[in-house]
Amino acid sequence: MQPIDFNGLDTTVHGPVRLGVLTALQLDGPHDFTALKKRLDVADGSLGLQLQRLEEAEYVRAEKAFVGRRPKTTYHLTKKGRAALARYLDMLQRLLAAMGRSSASD
């Protein structure tokens, strides 16, 4: 039996809200804060904290503008974020494949 190596799992991507943000940006393109909040059904504070973490990791980029007199922040998936998401999903696929091989041998 081979050990399962979770050491390469990117914990920045792994959080449910962060994974949701990266997935939404990958699937649908840039989103503003309100659209992300509705898409993921999360509270302002939680989303803000998770977006900050993704920005610090340079996985997303925030673009700030004013629409009329109201501020609007739009989030974009960066090349680094796209690569991190792809690596994360690849690792999950390998884990699922290993699980499939394990259950087939039972």
> What is the extent of the structural domain holding 93?
13-98
6 assigned to some structural domain: no
What confidence score (pLDDT) does residue 77 get?
A: 98
88 assigned to some structural domain: yes
What confidence score (pLDDT) does residue 99 get?
A: 78
What confidence score (pLDDT) does residue 106 get?
A: 55
78 assigned to some structural domain: yes
Q: How many structural domains does the chain have?
A: 1
- Render each residue's pLDDT in the chain as its tens digit; 106 residues: 556 666 778 889 999 999 999 999 999 999 999 999 999 999 999 999 999 999 999 999 999 999 889 989 999 999 999 999 999 999 888 888 877 766 655 5
Is 61 buried (19+), middle (13-18) or exposed (0-12) by CB count in 10 A?
A: middle
89 assigned to some structural domain: yes
CATH number at residue 54: 1.10.10.10
23 assigned to some structural domain: yes
45 assigned to some structural domain: yes
104 assigned to some structural domain: no
Write the DSSP symbol of residue 7: T
pTM: 0.86
